[in-house]
Structure 1
């Protein structure tokens, strides 16, 4: 299976690039398995301990705040200490934090541990995504990022399945998650120093310049953070209010996840052959049209399921293409800073998206969830038109 993966998925790359991509994608995907096990595990433990729902929400907010703090610091740390040493340190910190969850019964101390765990994850994601973008040849970068999105989606699907095997009680699930995060160091070590890229560049990167140079890419990160987090939390609620059985209401998320397994590689390959900013507009247009149409399919569960699978996979391409634009526009330390800004925007979407979508669901239940999503996609489409369309804003002549 491993040989097939190497010769199949990575056959378009030379030996050094294959090693770098295999290491960076394997690292982030193993962490993804552990993360997707931990998120529902913590929620279940807090609920079982009798904590109110807003405590669960506070934990999520702490993770988002940790990302907003840690992301802009990560490129400077990677430049000073190196990509691989920083990854090793972040992986070790994440594993220790998970052991802290396991052996500490004070759930309020968990907030501090959650902040530490969030910081470690931020570093791992920023550095790994930089490594993937910097290692991939420019002509095949979209495909490489599509592979990353696909394998990460598989990892996120495995975590909840593991939780069903370990159960949510006792030390075992935390120990399994800690072991998985620690195992992410193995592919980084196997890559060797020659397989890693360097993040070079003087001084602190100018985040304002990055936002100015790639507004559509960063806005795509914001939109996808709101979409993914809001959908994970509220799509089952839509299903219940639409009359779906509880099992089917949850199964909707599986269909969206399968879409994110199937579609990123084809979308990444298209991104390598077309203008990426226009492709973002096409993806957002599909997101807008799908959000308007999907509630109408709900009466026919088969048609609805197929449409949800396709729609979720296409919208997932926003994240991949946004990363590809950043890798196209920036190099070295500026690419690292751009990846950090991207993660920050995604985290901001995690914070603001679910409340906004929840308001839509309450105002016009059940289709209000999709109406609110349609408004988000429409706002993004307006930004695409303003920045790339025939009436786009032109820079003022000097």
Structure 2
């Protein structure tokens, strides 16, 4: 096995652990706050701390990445996650949890940004969609398994948190055997002060999926547990229903990534956005039928669960290699902003309107994105010319 493939597979394992951590911690803390009688609005505000941390750190991550390399930035992020996870069960004050979740957001964003950029760098252009989809698949597998950790709560508050700490220790062991690498240097002809404007001008469509994925993921994992408990579903059912979205994405993650290598990212994302939007709009019809809930969330997950990785692959297709880390920064900010908005918007909707409107909102976002893809697709733009590298080589 080559050194780059070894690095790739270690990153896949580490991101699976990070996915499980996030998949467990978000609904776990939401359930604990709901049991304490905290309102859905305050619950949402507390959950938003994770994503506020992501947004605060994202604009600055490119600096340590270029100075210290991928590996050291990942280790920094994992260290913050470990410390915050160990401290959370020691306190029960909302303000303390807010700060600790803020630190978790900083750590999580550091880890994911560095690992995504590393995978993007070592992936061959003709297999970029496949490799990034495998990265997303690993995250999805961990994330979908995360809510199952809610069933550890009866054994004690420390048990789910202790499980996460053991997994972090395993990640540190895996990372300790890797060799550090650095991103491509920015070309002297590029104006540093204009790099964000250039990324937005050239790759705006490729950066929307990160916002959509952040909104959907946080809506389901941060708001759905509260929605479910208020509609009479048990914690056990929540732990089973929640993973169905990610399980759906797991099923099609690799096929969609490979298909996007062949026919273009934009065509794949357009079809997926339409399918996911329909599934979310139909969700209110499920009523209290948990099996129909699971089916519709699985369909939505299969369609749009790979949006982040497809968007990042699309950005890598249409931007110079030296600008991809900047695109990753913007994507991370988009994800964080959406994740901050989601629990607060959804909490407000559940307080003043019908709870199921949170699913219609997600569906509407997807339909708007599909319309934008179709509008861009009318002309043979630069994005069209490079979004299907394998097809053009063949």
Q: Are residues 1:324 and 2:313 paired?
A: yes
Match of 1:65 in 2: 52
Residue 29 in 1 paired to residue 16 in 2? yes
Rate the CA distance shift 1:294–1:390 in 2: closer, same or farther, 3 A: farther
* CA RMSD of superposed structures (Å): 3.3
Range 307-316 or range 146-155, more displaced: 307-316
Q: Quick check: 1:353 aligned with 2:342? A: yes
SS of the equivalent of 1:192 reads coil
1:27 is displaced (CA, Å) by: 1.5
After TM superposition, the structure 1 stretch with the greater mean CA deviation from structure 2, 245-254 or 284-293, is 245-254
Call closer, same or farther: CA 1:187–1:65 in 2, change over 3 Å: same
Match of 1:213 in 2: 202
Distance 2:375 2:32 in 1: 47
8 A Cα contact 1:358 1:369, kept in partner: no
Residues 253 and 96 of structure 1: is their aligned pair in 2 closer, same or farther, counting only changes over 3 Å?
closer
Tell me how far 1:128 sits from its aligned partner. Answer: 0.8
The separation in 1 between residues aligned to 2:297 and 2:86, in whole angstroms, is: 37
Inter-partner Cα distance in structure 1 for 2:355 and 2:37? 29
Among 173, 190, 200, the residue aligned to 1:186: 173
Given the two structures, how large is their TM-score scaled by the length of structure 2?
0.83
Shift of 1:48: 4.9
- Are 2:114 and 1:127 equivalent residues in the alignment? yes
> Which aligned pairs between 1:150-169 and structure 2 lie closer than 5 A?
150-165=137-152, 167=154, 169=156
Unaligned runs of 5+ in 2: 384-394
| 282 and 358 in structure 1: CA distance in 2 versus 1, 3 angstrom threshold | farther
Q: Is the 8 A contact 2:280 2:360 kept in 1?
A: yes
Q: How many residues align?
A: 379
2:363 to 351, 374, 387: 374
Distance change in 2, residues 1:265/1:206 (3 Å): same
Among residues 371, 381, 386, which one is paired with 2:375 in the alignment? Answer: 386
Asked whether 1:229 is paired with 2:229, we answer: no
Indicate whether 1:201 and 2:190 are aligned. Answer: no
Change (3 A) 1:253 1:205: farther
3-state DSSP class of the match of 2:185? coil
- Give the TM-score taking structure 1 as reference length: 0.82
Alpha carbons 2:140, 2:250 under 8 Å: kept: yes
User: Alpha-carbon deviations, 1:364-389, whole Å to 9, x = none?
Assistant: 74653443233212221222233222
Contact 1:78 1:199 in 2 (8 A): no
Contact 2:27 2:225 in 1 (8 A): no
Measured in 1, the distance between the counterparts of 2:129 and 2:252 equals: 12
1:247-287: CA deviations, max 9, x gaps? 65664323222102211111001111112122221211222
1:337 to 2:326 alignment: yes
Deviations 1:95-116 (A, max 9, x none): 1222232444554233222222
Specify the alignment match of 1:173 in structure 2. 160
Cross-structure match for 1:76: 63
- Aligned counterpart in structure 2 of residue 147 of structure 1, from 130, 134, 145: 134
Gaps of 5+ in 1: 1-13
